[in-house]
Amino acid sequence: MNRRVVITGAGVVSSLGIGVDEFWSQCLKGKSAVAGVPENWPYYAELHSRLWAPLPDIDPESLGVARAERLQLDPVTMLALGAAREAIGRAGFALASAGERSRNFILSGADSTRTGVFFGTGLGGAISFLQNHTHHLLRKPRAALVAYADRHGASEDRAALNGIIAQMTHGTRFNPFEVSMVMPNAPSAAIGIKYNLTGPNQTYCVACASGTVAVGNAFRAIRDGRVDVAISGGCEYFADEHGHIFRSFDVSGTLVRDYADPQTANRPFDEKRSGFLLSQGGAAALVLEELEHAQHRGATIMAELIGFAETFDAHSMMSLASGGRQIERMIHAALADADMSPGDIDYINAHGTGTRNNDETEAQVIDRVFGKSVRVNSTKSLLGHTIGASGAFETLVTALTLRDGMTHICKNLDIPLLDLNFVRNTDRFNPQVGLSQSFAFGGHNAAVVLRRFS
């Protein structure tokens, strides 16, 4: 008989707040974080979209990251560490110091050799690469230009040169830790090091499906008996100094264009949707645990994971295959893995990005497989798109929905593109089984199935 897998802890660092309670409270209030991009970014490029979902100011110390660690970690890893710390604390594991001169911990109540880390990210420490590259490229030319201006600049020329010099920003150092900051496996490695977890330690780089694939593989590792406990989730961070990453999404035409009213620009599944709202980043972590292991510890169980599947479109790097046949196949495989049928599903946390193609294809598939009764929402309508973290956030929202019997609205949905049962209010209902699905650049599709635990 398969071992059962439950969620016993969760942690969040997000644009909607830090900590699961704050995040979920904001979700249920239908809050969203929308703001203009940093003022200096439009200097470097003609941006079509100028909105994103910024993170609050975060003191790394509040995430449990000391200066010695901050100086050698990319922000994406700090976010992952912060989310993992909350998740492990909520799961009820006591922490012992790993040594007199160590900042790391040992989990009591878990065999470290049978505890794994399964984390997803889209771009990993890309901003550390950009920051170091900017330093590498600009430090000498900028210093030379400053020297030239000092020697030759007449008053008017000097003012013009100063304007150029002011835009040639490059940070103060080429960080000697760059390699370990940039590598996509840094977040999962940092979590494993911080908590002395010596089981399998895996990183999943599957763009927007990274978080879902990470959770799904953690689920399988526990169900198959390879580990008893898994720290799983996803993380992302996009705030490079010059808006390079934002531009790369913007230039591909994927971001929100309707910003006459910034608060309504992000509108998944609406007829007037124009693209997705890019998030500055975030991290969501889940502690997954074998049921008897969790019960033996007396852990509080949030929900049960019962199925996972993934398929691949083999169609396009940037666009879903129209018709969504591989998505449909994935849903049926996930339901079969969970020993469920479409009629058993009460709630779907959709990928729901707000792009023309995604929402149309996804809505058609949901209609074909589930019909019009299942409740559907898009967490991205509140949070924006956290790319590699999104699947982890959405798995968490699905678990919280099942636990609490209520979920958040699908925001800014005035004219639905299809007549589905989109969530319009936070009225209580009685969901027993939910599905969270993600689709990614490249063509990756993944879904997890969760059941209310009672």
Partner 1 sequence: MNANVQQRVIKVISEILNRKESEIRLDASIRDDLQASSLDQMTLYVALEDEFQRTMPPEEVTELATVKDIVDFIDRKLQETPLT
- Chain residues binding partner 1 by CB under 8 A are 66-68, 71-72, 100-103, 143, 172-173, 175-177
Nearest CB to partner 1, comparing residues 192 and 275: 192
Angle formed by the axes of helices 244-251 and 126-152, nearest 10° = 110
Give the CA-trace dihedral at 74, 79, 83, 88, to 10 degrees: 30
Instruction: Give the Cα separation of 232 and 241 in Å (integer).
Output: 29
> By the 8 A CB rule, do 218 and 133 touch?
no
> What is the separation, in whole angstroms, between the first and last Cα of the chain?
20
Angle formed by the axes of helices 390-404 and 210-223, nearest 10° = 60
Helix, strand, coil shares of the chain, percent, nearest 5, are 40, 20, 40
Nearest CB to partner 1, comparing residues 139 and 315: 139
Nearest CB to partner 1, comparing residues 192 and 324: 192
The strand pairing partners of 289, in sequence order, are 6, 229
Nearest CB to partner 1, comparing residues 28 and 106: 106
Give the distance from CA 232 to its chain's centroid. Answer: 12
Q: ∠ CA 117-118-122 to the nearest 5 degrees?
A: 130
In angstroms, give the least distance from the CB of 138 to partner 1. 11
In angstroms, give the least distance from the CB of 281 to partner 1. 22
In angstroms, give the least distance from the CB of 59 to partner 1. 15
Nearest CB to partner 1, comparing residues 28 and 146: 146
In angstroms, give the least distance from the CB of 183 to partner 1. 16
In angstroms, give the least distance from the CB of 71 to partner 1. 5
Instruction: Give the Cα separation of 165 and 144 in Å (integer).
Output: 10
In angstroms, give the least distance from the CB of 173 to partner 1. 6
In angstroms, give the least distance from the CB of 66 to partner 1. 7
Nearest CB to partner 1, comparing residues 81 and 334: 81
In angstroms, give the least distance from the CB of 251 to partner 1. 30
Phi, psi of 227 (to 5 degrees): -140, 165
Nearest CB to partner 1, comparing residues 196 and 248: 196
Q: Which amino acid is at 391?
A: G
Nearest CB to partner 1, comparing residues 181 and 410: 181
In angstroms, give the least distance from the CB of 132 to partner 1. 13
In angstroms, give the least distance from the CB of 432 to partner 1. 50
The residue among 274, 246, 249 whose CA lies nearest residue 35 is 246
In angstroms, give the least distance from the CB of 234 to partner 1. 28
Which of the 8 DSSP states describes residue 263? G
Q: Which amino acid is at 432?
A: Q
Nearest CB to partner 1, comparing residues 98 and 406: 98
Nearest CB to partner 1, comparing residues 166 and 318: 166
Nearest CB to partner 1, comparing residues 36 and 141: 141
Instruction: Give the Cα separation of 78 and 86 in Å (integer).
Output: 13
Q: Is 415 exposed, middle or buried (0-12, 13-18, 19+ CB in 10 A)?
A: exposed
The residue among 379, 279, 452 whose CA lies nearest residue 28 is 379
- Strands 444-451 and 433-439, by their bridges, are antiparallel
Tokens 């969203």 found at: 32
Ranges of beta strands (E only) in 111-228 are: 115-121, 201-204
Measured from the Cβ of residue 59, the count of other Cβ atoms closer than 10 Å reads 8
